[in-house]
């Protein structure tokens, strides 16, 4: 079973602060995705990383895939209240199975004014 542990589980910060969320596993993934989920809605994809060591930027969000493709991080610069939500990483296995994903345990982020 492939498990994805996220840390921290909860994070409450002030507007303008920086933060990093981590997603770790002992398994290798062919790709890793990050989703954000807001209350009462389903998760929405933010980014997909495929290559070990890959870094992708989406405005104030920076995503990195570990060299060994076992871990990933999400860094948010100058957080805003609109960044509030549940952040989920999700990995696709290397042994096939189409686009079946294993989701991480989640990080609940709250950004206050």
Partner 1 sequence: DARVTQTPRHKVTEMGQEVTMRCQPILGHNTVFWYRQTMMQGLELLAYFRNRAPLDDSGMPKDRFSAEMPDATLATLKIQPSEPRDSAVYFCASGLGPPTGRGISYNEQFFGPGTRLTVL
Q: Which residues bind partner 1 (CB under 8 A)?
A: 30-31, 33, 40-45, 48, 50, 88, 92, 94, 96-106
- Annotate 15-30 with b (16+ C-beta within 10 A) or e (fewer): eeeebebbbbbeeebe
Give a three-class secondary structure readout of 4-31. CEEECCEEEEECCCCEEEEEECCCCEEE
Maximum separation of any 2 CA atoms in the chain, in Å = 45
Q: Which is nearer to partner 1, 40 or 82 (CB)?
A: 40
Identity of the residue, 12 or 105, whose beta carbon is nearer to partner 1 in the bound complex = 105
User: Minimum distance from CB of 36 to partner 1 (Å)?
Assistant: 11
Closest among 50, 53, 45 to 31, alpha carbons compared = 50
CB of 89 to partner 1, least distance (A): 11
* Nearest to partner 1 of 39, 113 (CB atom): 39
Nearest CB to partner 1, comparing residues 36 and 71: 36
Taking the complex as a whole, the smallest distance from the CB of residue 77 to partner 1 amounts, in Å, to 24
**Nearest approach, Cβ of 68 to partner 1 (angstroms)?**
17
d(CA 23, CA 1): 16
């Amino acid at each position: 079973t492939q498990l994805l542990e996220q840390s921290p589980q909860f994070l409450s910060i002030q507007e303008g602060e920086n933060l990093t969320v981590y997603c770790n596993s002992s398994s290798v993934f062919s790709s890793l995705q990050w989703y954000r989920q807001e209350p009462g809605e389903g998760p929405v994809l933010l980014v997909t990383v495929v290559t070990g060591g890959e870094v992708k930027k989406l405005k104030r969000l920076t995503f990195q895939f570990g060299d060994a493709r076992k871990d990933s991080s999400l860094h948010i610069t100058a957080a805003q209240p609109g960044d509030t939500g549940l952040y989920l990483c999700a990995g696709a296995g290397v042994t096939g199975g189409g686009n079946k994903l294993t989701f991480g345990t989640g990080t609940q982020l709250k950004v206050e004014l």
